């Protein structure tokens, strides 16, 4: 009886997802420019959230410094484009690789010395800030003035498009790919190892799970994906600087949708992004002219969500959190 | 064949000597009981053997090879698993997922791990609670889960740390029967236990630990008559 009801709900949810996907693919060409902007922002936030979620949600390692990987991605592909004329389509892979190496290094140093919880968060924040300061003080990467990405002429082969629509489909594809990868990880052996490490590291080790190796794997995947988001940002906005790409704002943009939507779930970051981004847009529009007021209201919304929905929106709609739902959601 | 050999094992925490030169052996097919008063260092010995603490000095060999310095997961992969005295389930995961984590030690494939886990869950008698989150299990069931997760890793030697403490007599009988079933599948056991009747009945051999040192060793009946053991547990007799 109960199984029937949950099966019915699952079918309903699946139908809703397919419908939503159809709308996401078909509707944008008909949308006014402003809404397309917001939708790109939503998917970009969802993508960053999904990337963060692998490490923060599944492995339970709460990074506060994913901007480090984001910035490495943005700067690597942009510098390769400007200096060597390499297309960002390839540059983003180089950036992802570099970010993964940096992530493994930072992760090894942190995990090797047993940094957990808030201590790990602070160290990741410090790594990102360190890179920001380095970028600000390095002439070769444009110092605090940043870098301008060429964007005058449409060149799809160089990840440069006329108009926003193509960027929309790129970030949609990236977001869906991140979601598919998350689902695959969750269902694989790695997903079980991640959940075990998140729940109890000692017990995980006792059950034969290499806790350090598992966390490093999550770190590498998460940082690689985040770096690709950095390249997307550079190409879409055609401008990067240290404050934007290495700043805490980007780190927060990754962790918030995951936490608000439901950390350690496949759909959480997407749900979170679809709620948070419009809320942020609306508060900004409603409180225009009062500098900072929108951020305060936004902060208030977040505090309420985190206080009353510790498992995020996914907890609210009854999809059981990471725990038992991990192999099914 | 000797499975586990511990020679001159010493562990000091700062100035406190928790284990002082312990020798211990477990042969294949054996059930060895490790008993002693509270604070005797029994759990520390388990931590040392399973790789959770590094010994100050001494040798630990499993199947002839030293395992000192290996991480717990590496020791587990060699076929030496443990349970925790204070049960440590993956609270948010289902019983099945908990045991599957252990099963991945022997099989890489998800379906195979699930099959193996289901078998072991049946063996320990948690079949009806396969899909409930571990945090909702009773203490007795959590102890079974600890054993199931350990067994799923495919150990040749399983260290059980007080799997009977806090259980009622009926539950203790069930666990004793379960341990016999596990032993019958070919797993050797080293068991820490305070429930004397149970450990006397189960063990082929008893090792008594007192202040981190071996006080006595032998067949349960011999050890139970040993004057030093009685004194360690009950205090010295007041001489007249």
Domain ranges of chain B: 2-79+156-234, 93-154
Cβ contact, residue pair B97, A204, below 8 Å:
no
Q: Which of B204, B226, B202 is nearest to B214 (CA)?
A: B226
- Is the model's pLDDT at A302 over the cut of 80? no
Cβ contact, residue pair B104, A189, below 8 Å:
yes
Interface A-B: count of C-beta contacts within 8 A: 102
Q: Using pLDDT thresholds of 50, 70 and 90, give the confidence band for residue A320.
A: very low
Question: Domain for residue A328, yes or no?
Answer: no
Q: Does A200 touch chain B (CB under 8 A)?
A: yes
Residue of A nearest to B86 (CA): A203
CA A85 – CA A248 distance, rounded (Å): 30
- Is the model's pLDDT at B168 over the cut of 80? yes
Would you state the pLDDT for residue A130? Answer: 96
Would you state the pLDDT for residue A31? Answer: 87
Q: Does A185 touch chain B (CB under 8 A)?
A: no
Residue of A nearest to B131 (CA): A324
Cβ contact, residue pair B89, A203, below 8 Å:
yes
Cβ contact, residue pair B92, A188, below 8 Å:
no
Would you state the pLDDT for residue A13? Answer: 81
Interface of B with A (CB under 8 A): 50-52, 71-74, 76-77, 81-84, 88-94, 97, 100-102, 104-105, 108, 110, 113, 131-133, 149-150, 152-153
- Is the model's pLDDT at A328 over the cut of 90? no
Please say whether the beta carbons of B28 and B78 come within 8 A: no
Question: Domain for residue A267, yes or no?
Answer: no
- Is the model's pLDDT at A329 over the cut of 70? no
Please say whether the beta carbons of B82 and B150 come within 8 A: yes
Average pLDDT for A232-248: 95
- Is the model's pLDDT at A322 over the cut of 80? no
> Of all residues in chain A, what percent are helix, strand and coil, respectively (each to 5)?
80, 0, 20
Would you state the pLDDT for residue A318? Answer: 63
CA A245 – CA A171 distance, rounded (Å): 17
Residue of A nearest to B130 (CA): A324
Of B73, B93, B131, Cβ closest to residue A205: B73
Cβ contact, residue pair B149, A211, below 8 Å:
no
Residue B142 tokens, joined: 């959590």
Cβ contact, residue pair B110, A189, below 8 Å:
yes
Collect all residues with Cβ–Cβ distance below 8 Å to A272 and sequence separation of at least 6.
A45, A46, A49, A256, A257, A258, A259, A260, A261, A262, A312, A313
Q: Which of B79, B162, B149, B86 is nearest to B120 (CA)?
A: B149
Q: Which of A260, A267, A191, A265 is nearest to A14 (CA)?
A: A267
* Residue B32, CB-side half-sphere exposure with 13 Å CA sphere: 23
Please list every residue in chain B whose beta carbon sits closer than 8 Å to the beta carbon of residue A212: 71
CA B82 – CA B73 distance, rounded (Å): 11
Mutation for testing the A interface, residue in B47, B51, B72 having most A CBs under 10 Å: B72
Would you state the pLDDT for residue B236? Answer: 62
Cβ contact, residue pair B90, A203, below 8 Å:
yes
Would you state the pLDDT for residue A124? Answer: 95
Helix (H) or strand (E) holding A8: helix A2-26
Predicted confidence (pLDDT) per residue in B119-165, tens digit: 999 999 999 999 999 999 999 999 999 999 999 999 999 999 999 98
Q: Does A239 touch chain B (CB under 8 A)?
A: no
CATH of segment(s) B2-79+156-234: 3.40.50.300
Domain that holds residue A150: 42-248
Average pLDDT for A162-184: 95
CA distance, residue A321 to nearest chain B CA (Å): 8
Question: Domain for residue A279, yes or no?
Answer: no
Handedness of CA A201, A205, A206, A209 (dihedral sign): positive
Average pLDDT for A244-248: 93
Q: Using pLDDT thresholds of 50, 70 and 90, give the confidence band for residue B239.
A: low
Q: Does A46 touch chain B (CB under 8 A)?
A: no
Own/partner pairs, A39-43, CB within 8 angstroms, 24+ separation: A39/A168, A40/A164, A40/A167, A40/A168, A40/A171, A40/A236, A41/A277, A41/A281, A42/A273, A42/A274, A42/A277, A42/A278, A43/A168, A43/A171, A43/A172, A43/A174, A43/A175, A43/A273
Question: Domain for residue A303, yes or no?
Answer: no
Predicted confidence (pLDDT) per residue in B87-99, tens digit: 999 999 999 999 9
- Is the model's pLDDT at B22 over the cut of 90? yes
CA A236 – CA A170 distance, rounded (Å): 10
Question: Domain for residue A202, yes or no?
Answer: yes
Predicted confidence (pLDDT) per residue in B177-225, tens digit: 999 999 999 999 999 998 988 999 999 999 999 998 999 999 998 988 8
Task: Pick A244 or A329 by higher pLDDT.
Answer: A244
CB-based burial, B155-192: b 16+ in 10 Å, e otherwise:
bbbbbbbbbbeebeeebbebbbebbeebbeeebbbbbb
Would you state the pLDDT for residue A312? Answer: 83
Would you state the pLDDT for residue A321? Answer: 43
Cβ contact, residue pair B88, A200, below 8 Å:
yes
Question: Domain for residue A151, yes or no?
Answer: yes
DSSP labels, A139-173: GGGTGGG-EEPP-SS-BGGGTB-SSSHHHHHHHHH
Question: Domain for residue A220, yes or no?
Answer: yes
Would you state the pLDDT for residue A6? Answer: 65
Domain count across chain A: 1
């Amino acid at each position: 009886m109960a199984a029937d009801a949950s099966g019915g709900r699952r079918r309903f949810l699946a139908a809703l997802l397919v419908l939503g996907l159809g709308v996401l693919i078909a509707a944008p060409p008909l949308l006014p420019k402003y809404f397309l902007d917001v939708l790109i922002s939503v998917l970009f936030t969802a993508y960053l959230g999904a990337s963060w979620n692998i490490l923060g949600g599944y492995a339970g390692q709460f990074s506060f410094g994913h901007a480090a990987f984001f910035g490495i991605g943005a700067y690597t592909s942009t510098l390769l484009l400007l200096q060597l004329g390499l297309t960002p389509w390839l540059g983003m892979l180089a950036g992802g690789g570099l970010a993964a190496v940096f992530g493994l290094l930072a992760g090894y140093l942190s995990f090797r010395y047993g940094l957990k919880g808030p201590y790990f968060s602070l160290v990741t924040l410090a790594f990102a800030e360190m890179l920001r300061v380095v970028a600000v003080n390095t002439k070769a990467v444009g110092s605090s003035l940043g870098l301008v990405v060429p964007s005058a002429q449409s060149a799809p082969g160089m990840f440069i498009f006329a108009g926003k629509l193509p960027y929309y489909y790129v970030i949609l594809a990236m977001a869906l790919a991140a979601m598919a990868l998350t689902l695959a990880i969750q269902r694989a052996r790695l997903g079980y190892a991640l959940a075990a490490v998140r729940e109890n590291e000692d017990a995980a080790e006792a059950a034969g799970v290499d806790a350090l190796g598992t966390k490093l794997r999550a770190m590498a995947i998460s940082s690689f994906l985040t770096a690709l988001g950095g390249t997307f940002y550079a190409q879409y906005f055609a401008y990067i600087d240290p404050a934007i790409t290495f700043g805490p704002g980007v780190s927060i943009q990754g962790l918030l949708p995951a936490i608000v939507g439901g950390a350690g779930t496949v759909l959480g970051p997407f749900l979170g992004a679809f709620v948070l981004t419009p809320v942020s847009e609306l508060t900004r529009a409603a409180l225009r002219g009062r500098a900072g007021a929108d951020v305060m209201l936004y902060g208030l919304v977040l505090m309420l969500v985190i206080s009353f929905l510790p498992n995020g929106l996914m907890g609210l709609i009854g999809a059981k959190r990471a725990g038992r739902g991990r192999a099914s959601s | 064949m000797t499975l586990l050999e511990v020679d001159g094992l010493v562990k000091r925490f700062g100035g406190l000597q928790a284990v002082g030169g312990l020798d211990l052996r477990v042969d294949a097919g054996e059930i060895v009981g490790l008993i002693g008063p509270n604070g005797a260092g029994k759990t520390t010995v388990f931590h040392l053997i399973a790789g959770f603490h590094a010994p100050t000095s001494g040798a630990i060999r499993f199947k002839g090879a030293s395992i000192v310095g290996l991480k717990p997961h590496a020791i587990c992969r060699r076929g030496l698993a443990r349970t925790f005295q204070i049960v440590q389930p993956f609270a948010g995961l289902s019983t099945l997922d908990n045991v599957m984590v252990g099963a991945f030690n022997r099989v890489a494939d998800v379906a195979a791990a699930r099959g193996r886990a289901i078998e072991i869950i049946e063996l320990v008698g948690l079949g009806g609670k396969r899909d409930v989150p571990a945090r909702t299990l009773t203490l007795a069931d959590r102890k079974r889960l600890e054993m199931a997760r350990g067994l799923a890793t495919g150990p040749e030697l399983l260290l059980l740390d007080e799997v009977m403490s806090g259980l009622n007599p009926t539950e203790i009988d069930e666990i004793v029967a379960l341990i016999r079933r596990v032993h019958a599948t070919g797993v050797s056991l080293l068991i820490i236990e305070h429930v004397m009747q149970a450990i006397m009945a189960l063990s082929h051999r008893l090792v008594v630990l007192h202040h981190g040192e071996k006080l006595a060793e032998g067949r349960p009946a011999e050890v139970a008559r040993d004057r030093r053991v009685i004194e360690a547990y009950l205090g010295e007799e007041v001489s007249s």
